[in-house]
Amino acid sequence: MATLQLPNRDARLAYLALQYHLARPGSELDPETKRPLEHGLAEVARALEPQLERAMATIELSDYQRQRLVSAIAGAVNELKTYPLLGGQTTVPRFHAALRRLFPEVTEEPEEAPQLAAHLVTLRRRLESAARSASAQGKSPGPGRRPWWRFWERGRG
């Protein structure tokens, strides 16, 4: 489990991405068993929501939850990019309701949505970077074959 400290804006953006993810049918089902996930992103959303008014929010994410949050952020970025093109509408009602509540300035001025998307991309990069550094601390690079598609790493090691 990794503990993340998020400034208010990042916490609200992460919550917005969580709402996007949770609005998708089947998003919280185990792909193999088709049963609800024990520790999915709904758990993270419940932990984050009461902290949205604070200057700093703290959440704990498993590696699986972090991967799912990164995926949710990617979907939310796409939704925010199309928001001004669709005249201030989204294809996900739950996302739209959360956007209106968390960022009322965007609903008044839809052209602000791409700026939020840029902040979300920055948050996504931070999450990915934190995961890489955590895995680098936990594992020592040992001998092994690199995947064939990672051709840029062939000469290293």
pLDDT at 104 over 90: yes
In this prediction, residue 82 carries a pLDDT of 92
Residue 140, phi-psi category: left (phi > 0), alpha (psi -120 to 50), beta (remainder) = beta
Residues 29-64: tens digit of each pLDDT: 777 777 777 778 889 999 999 999 999 999 999 888
- The highest-confidence range among 62-66, 134-138, 148-152, by mean pLDDT, is 62-66
- Tell me the three state secondary structure of residue 108: helix
Per-residue confidence at 17, pLDDT binned at 50, 70, 90?
Answer: very high
Q: Which amino acid is at 87?
A: G
Q: Which residues are paired to 6 by β-bridges?
A: 57
pLDDT at 131 over 80: no
In this prediction, residue 127 carries a pLDDT of 87
pLDDT at 87 over 80: yes
Per-residue confidence at 157, pLDDT binned at 50, 70, 90?
Answer: low
Average pLDDT over residues 121-148: 69
Average pLDDT over residues 116-133: 88
Residue 89, both tokens? 């509408």
Per-residue confidence at 132, pLDDT binned at 50, 70, 90?
Answer: confident
Phi, psi of 83 (to 5 degrees): -55, -50
CA dihedral 45, 50, 54, 57 (to 10 degrees): -40
Per-residue confidence at 4, pLDDT binned at 50, 70, 90?
Answer: confident
Instruction: Provide the mean pLDDT of the chain.
Output: 84
Average pLDDT over residues 108-137: 85
